Amino acid sequence: MQINSYTFALLSLYPLTALAANCGTIGGANQCVKFWTGSGCSGNAISYKPTCNGNCYQYDNVRSIQVRGNDVQGTNCVLYSDSRCQGYIGETGNKKGDGGCYVPPVPAYSMKCWFGC
């Protein structure tokens, strides 16, 4: 089997669907990261449950993000301008409850998020 650049590009753009559990709605008692390609945290979102591993997740054109802890421990995400989690843009801050909507100054192409660390 040969892996071509197209297959690699698809895998690198959509790791969340294969590697992380969707967390559903932002409210409730569970940790969650939700992000949108549109500004203002509205419309169709992608979500996942962050861990303490600090994995670098790649996604094209993130324009807004919302995080939530579990009311005891917090969730924090750092956004990057490149696909390798190197070009720091900004971060959500450590949020124990609903974190509100964070809109980075420029679109993000990767992120690292932590929960309960």
Residue 39 CA: distances (Å) to CA of 19, 22, 84, 94, 106: 25, 21, 22, 21, 11
pLDDT reported for residue 30:
81
What number does CATH give the domain 5-115? 2.60.20.10
Cα separation of 7 and 108, whole Å? 22
pLDDT per residue over 55-84, tens digit each?
A: 999 998 999 999 999 888 999 999 999 999
Q: Which residues contact 40 (CB under 8 A, 6 or more apart)?
A: 64, 101, 103
Q: How confident is the model at residue 21 (pLDDT cuts 50, 70, 90)?
A: low
Please report, for the chain, the start and end positions of each structural domain, with discontinuous segments joined by +: 5-115
Whether the predicted pLDDT of 17 surpasses 90: no
